[in-house]
Amino acid sequence: MLQTGMKAPDFTLSDQNGNAVSLSGFLGKKVVLYFYPKDNTPGCTRQACAFAGSYAAFKAQEVVVLGVSKDSAASHAKFAAKYDLPFILLSDPELQAIKAYDVWQEKKNYGKVSMGVVRTTYVIDEQGVIEKVMPKVKPDTNAAEILAYLAGEA
């Protein structure tokens, strides 16, 4: 797992509209980078909708929100349209950023062991350094916890 104080690994991935987006393109802004397992699943939908519901608060602080999963750009486009998601969703089918951020891990589900994305959120500062690591976050409270952290309450 990456640690606070480490330089955030740069990456370039396609967003839901097929545009190439690089993390380094957001230098000078704080970035919330959240990794989630799959579009249109109950937990991931609740997490995305919580970020959407809090988006005005993030935008007011000039914080960029980026969601990453291994779903395709087309899947992201449908997911964003269905739930009116106002932030960037990045497609990582090759696991480039997912592995760089060490969120591709063994998971147990109903006794079955498989590899998958562990729901993790990183807050990256204006210089591209990891400011906070939030492993195994809860979908319903993740956005609120980050806003509390940004407000100095956590």
Residues serving a catalytic function are: 44
Contacts of 98 (CB under 8 A, 6+ apart): 35, 68, 70, 92, 104, 117
- Per the CB < 8 A criterion, the answer to whether 145 and 50 are in contact is no
H or E element, residue 20: strand 20-22
CB atoms within 10 A of CB 4: 11
**How far lies 7's CA from each of 15, 59, 70, 133, in Å?**
23, 24, 23, 12
How far apart CA 101 and CA 10 sit, in angstroms, is 10
